[in-house]
Chain A
Amino acid sequence: QQQVKQSPQSLIVQKGGISIINCAYENTAFDYFPWYQQFPGKGPALLIAIRPDVSEKKEGRFTISFNKSAKQFSLHIMDSQPGDSATYFCAASKYSGYALNFGKGTSLLVTP
Chain B
Amino acid sequence: KAGVTQTPRYLIKTRGQQVTLSCSPISGHRSVSWYQQTPGQGLQFLFEYFSETQRNKGNFPGRFSGRQFSNSRSEMNVSTLELGDSALYLCASSLAATQETQYFGPGTRLLVL
A residues lining the B interface (CB < 8 Å): 32, 34, 36, 41-46, 49, 89, 91, 93, 95, 97-105
Contacts and interface: CB of A to CB of B under 8 A. Distances in A.
A41 B42 contact: no
A37 B3 CA distance: 16
Contacts, number: 57
23 contacts: A41-B106, A43-B92, A43-B105, A44-B43, A44-B104, A45-B104, A49-B100, A49-B101, A91-B43, A97-B56, A98-B31, A98-B33, A98-B55, A98-B102, A99-B33, A99-B56, A99-B58, A100-B33, A101-B45, A102-B35, A104-B42, A105-B42, A105-B43
A93 to B, nearest CB: 7
Contacts of A42: 106
Interface of B: 4, 31, 33, 35, 42-45, 48, 55-56, 58, 90, 92, 94, 100-107
B33 A103 contact: no
B100 A43 contact: no
Given A34-B100, A98-B33, A43 B42 contact: no
B90 A93 contact: no
Contact of B90 (A32, A43, A91, A103): A43
B102 A100 contact: yes
Contacts of A101: 45
B103 A46 contact: yes
Nearest to A102: B43
A98 B35 CA distance: 12
Contacts of A36: 104
A95 B99 CA distance: 9
A59 to B, nearest CB: 13
A23 to B, nearest CB: 12
